[in-house]
Structure 1
């Protein structure tokens, strides 16, 4: 009886041991009250989030420090956060930079290089150089911020691959030229990628980040590293607290199926599809604890088959981006395992909508 009693007491610790990786990357675009609400967080909300990190003893580290641990497959420290910004917006220089500089905190600014210095909305290279001198990492967000997985009309696969590789490599060269250095990390524009984009990033030697939610995982795919985006409707402190305290879902394998018998090779589907996400976990005991949700649909179907979790939307996907979010209680109050998978859907004819 004593043995059973002690096992019960140890259960939360045993659950956490299955995934000690708890480092989180957070993402912002604008820090402003006057920029588009969908991509903005107010300075007041931003300060409240930073105050929470400071008061609760989170360690703020440069993103390249975490990516080096990922490259080496090293364990990631608990209660560790890297801060990032996308899209070259001047509000990062005007509003976020002085606030984070005052705290002595590093962050990474992913810039789409063609936009730098082109108007009042965007930073200049002089401003980026100033930020770099104070410990800010300036990193690659491609040249023109295009939807990377989407071929242009009448573009061949070979032409597309050449164009995407050039958009990434040219941005890297420009940053090195203007700043003096550029780490081999990449943020996909719009957070969009598919297996072909991932392969290009891998061939070019990049660790690449999306905008899908989740904590970092030492065994995860280095070309689909998650970040928690904050802005628009995701700015409240309670939501922030939950997300920065998440742990990585301890996935062993991740696969995709168009139906239960047919593997889905890519992350691009046609509108009307209902693709399956299949997760195999390091700890099969977690499978029954997982709940999954989809963008705009709420709770979605989960089935356990041969010790794997099969996840599918109830309603067919519409054109655009859809994410499956899967979470499970991590054995400690307020902490959850989290895994997100993104799908990209064309229209029913296989054509992209270029308006979003």
Structure 2
């Protein structure tokens, strides 16, 4: 009996060591990848999966500043990859989708406080139109600060893999031209509305003149990845955005991202019981 217990203990230990070795290999393989953080709303009013409270957001930004992270833009990331130049140590991209008014009221002052740069993907027809979205004056002020870059989230947030080719082109090309006219700069990147895309859409994005496009797929942006389906680290999906959860999702994305995909696949295929046991921060 004692022999079997020893053998079982050795087997468990071997499995643990093998798991740690696999995790170490995965983390080492991703050492040159870039975490692209994905936010939406930053406020203390809403209690939904897209909102991070202001104090939680500030704690996350303070963590980045205190731990030597360097904020870059999508343009700088792609340029470094294409030209073979080095990125700064511990690069990170902070992105916000949609262009909510609280990005100006709540997020922008915190980014200023810690001298961190961000990128906001704008729904161009919504700017200056709806009260919950940014105004062009706010956009101009943030752009002039040198801390905020603006890119495209289409004209009106249509799910582009289900629209007609004519409407898809209108959303891509129209938003790019409208933003370039307002911002007086090139707009080279897109965030897919609802994170939805297919092969045909990727080709249209490229044809419209964009250099890359971002999904909401959990993972790090990697040089070897298709530039038109770049992964991000979603900082949403629950109403409890603790600093520990933030650290785990950002620092260990190469490990947790495959588990998150497995959890989603299990859940969508009806295997909810199994999905409960898959760790996904």
User: Is 1:235 paired with 2:244?
Assistant: no
Aligned to 2:115: 104
Alpha-carbon separation, structure 2, partners of 1:222 and 1:75:
18
Specify which of 270, 273, 278 is matched with residue 315 of structure 1.
Answer: 270
1:183 deviation in Å? 2.9
Q: Deviations over 1:247-299 (max 9, x none)?
A: 658xxxxxxxxxxxxxxxxxxxxxxxxxxxxxxxxxxxxxxxx756232736x
Aligned to 1:216: 221
Correspondence list, 1:64-75, <5 A: 64-72=75-83
What is the DSSP-based 3-state SS (H/G/I as helix, E as strand, rest coil) of the residue aligned with 2:202?
helix
1:50 deviation in Å? 1.0
Task: Give the count of matched residue pairs.
Answer: 250
1:101 deviation in Å? 1.4
Alpha-carbon separation, structure 2, partners of 1:172 and 1:139:
8
Segments of structure 2 that go 5 or more residues without pairing to the other structure are: 1-20, 272-277
What is the DSSP-based 3-state SS (H/G/I as helix, E as strand, rest coil) of the residue aligned with 2:228?
coil
What is the DSSP-based 3-state SS (H/G/I as helix, E as strand, rest coil) of the residue aligned with 1:84?
strand
Alpha-carbon separation, structure 2, partners of 1:70 and 1:162:
32
Specify which of 195, 198, 219 is matched with residue 194 of structure 1.
Answer: 198
Q: Which has the higher strand share?
A: 1
RMSD: 3.0
Segments of structure 1 that go 5 or more residues without pairing to the other structure are: 1-9, 152-159, 250-289, 299-312, 317-325, 328-356
Greater than 3 Å deviation, 4+ residue runs: 10-19, 70-78, 246-249, 313-316
Contact conserved, 2:218 with 2:253, CA < 8 A, in 1? Answer: no
Q: Deviations over 1:53-93 (max 9, x none)?
A: 12222222223211223444666666321101111210001
Aligned to 1:44: 55
1:314 deviation in Å? 5.0
Aligned to 1:25: 36
Give TM-score, length-normalised by structure 1.
0.63
Alpha-carbon separation, structure 2, partners of 1:35 and 1:187:
23
Correspondence list, 1:130-279, <5 A: 130-135=141-146, 136-151=148-163, 160-206=164-210, 207-233=212-238, 235-246=241-252
Contact conserved, 1:73 with 1:219, CA < 8 A, in 2? Answer: no
Alpha-carbon separation, structure 2, partners of 1:139 and 1:126:
16
Contact conserved, 1:215 with 1:246, CA < 8 A, in 2? Answer: no
Contact conserved, 2:104 with 2:134, CA < 8 A, in 1? Answer: yes
Q: Which has the higher helix share?
A: 2
